[in-house]
Amino acid sequence: MNSVDILDRLIGFPTVSLRSNRDLIGYIQSVLGEAGVEAIQIEGPHPGSLNLFATIGPADRAGVALSGHTDVVPTEGQAWTTDPFRLTRVQDRLYGRGTADMKGFVACAIRAAVLAAKRDLAAPLHLAFSCDEEVGCVGVRPMLDLLADQGVRPLACIVGEPTSMRLATGHKGKIALAVTFKGREGHSALAPTLLNAITLASEFIQAVTALQDEAERQGVRDEAYDIPYATLHVGRISGGEALNIVPSRCVLEMEIRSAEPAEAEGLLERIKAAADAIVKGRLARFPEAAIEIEVRNAYPGLNAAEDDVAAALVRRLIGANETMKVAFGTEGGLYRERLGTPTVICGPGSMDQGHKADEYVTQEQLDRCDRMMDALLDHLAAQ
C-alpha cells in the first residue's frame, strides 16, 4: 500500500469540519489494525468527531509524534473542475479537497506506521490525528489532555501542514472575537432620533483599521514572516432586517494574529477601550447602547528555537538547513504548550493551493514526504 492509494481513500471521506469523521477514523484504524498496530479513538468536541492516537514501538521511551488533522474546509460555492471528494490525477498533480491541507501528510504518516510495524524500533513512532482543526484547533485539545494525563510526552512532534517540505519553526497565535452592537430600532424616517447598530459597527471597524495601521508602523516585527507584524481582520458582519428599519443589533466576527502573546493581549485591551469610547458618548441619550466583545476561540503561536530537538531532527531528515515561518495557524503551539514537546511544521504541498477550488498536491511532494518518513524510521530504529 503506497501513500497515493491511502490518499485516494482519505479524500473519499467528506470530513468537513463540524461534521462526523467517524468513517475516516474507522478506515485508518482498520489499516493500522491489519498491520498489528493498536489505535485508540478519542472523542472530539462535537458529535461524531473523533481523534486517533497510536504508538508503534516501545511505549516506555520518548519518541516522535506525527500530527495531522483529518477535517477539511467546505467546498460549497467553489468552482471545482473535478469532484472534490474523489482523487483525480492530472499528470503530476493529485486533485481533491484536503490533498494539500492536509490528508497528503496523513496518508504518508499512515504508510510510515505500517512500515514501522515491521521494524524493530528502539524509540516509538506516534500517530496523532485530530478533528475540527479548521475551526480553531478545537478538536485536538481532548486528545492532548488525555496524553498529558497519561504522561505521554514525545521527544519531538512534526506537524505536517503544507510547507512544500521545508522546515517551518513558527506561526502566529490567534484570538477570534465575536462583537455585538446594540442600539435603538425604529422607523427609518426617524433615523436621526434613533441609534443605528450598524453605525456603531462602522465606527468600531474604523478603530480596528487604525490599530492595524499602527501595528504595521510600530508593532513587534519578525521578518521571518511574509507579513512581519500583527494583523487585525474583520471577516464577517451582519445586521438589519429591512431597509426601512433602523437596526438595533449588528454582529461582526474578527481576529487578531500576532507572534507575541503580550502584543495580542494588548491589542485586545485596546479594542475593548475603543468600544467603550464609542459607546460612552451615546449613553446619556441611548442608555441601551452597548458593544459586547466575546473571545470565541484562541490558540497559541509557535516559535521553535532554531536548535531545538524537533528542528534539528527535521533538518537531518530532509537534508536542508533553511527555516521559515508560516502565516497560517497550526496545532503546533498546543503541543508545545500542553505537552512541552518541541514542535515544528513540515509537510507536503503548499497552502497556496489550500482552501480553494481544485486543491492539489503533487506526486513529487508526496515522494519527498515519504523519503522523510523513511529517514525517520531509520532514525527511530537506530536510537
C-alpha to C-alpha distances, 232 to 108, 179, 209, 225, nearest whole angstrom: 35, 14, 8, 16
> Can you tell me the distance from the alpha carbon of 152 to that of 235, in angstroms, rounded to the nearest whole number?
38
- The one catalytic residue in 133, 134, 255, 370 is 133
> Can you tell me the distance from the alpha carbon of 166 to that of 362, in angstroms, rounded to the nearest whole number?
15
Our answer to whether residue 265 is catalytic in this structure is: no
Task: Decide if 365 contacts 349 (C-beta within 8 A).
Answer: yes
> Which runs of consecutive H residues, i.e. helices, occur in the chain?
3-11, 22-34, 104-116, 140-149, 197-218, 261-280, 309-318, 332-339, 363-382
Q: Coil, strand, or helix at residue 247?
A: coil
Q: Coil, strand, or helix at residue 295?
A: strand
| 56 burial level (CB within 10 Å; 0-12, 13-18, 19+) | buried
Our answer to whether residue 133 is catalytic in this structure is: yes
- The one catalytic residue in 71, 132, 358, 359 is 71
Which residues participate in catalysis according to the annotation?
A: 71, 133
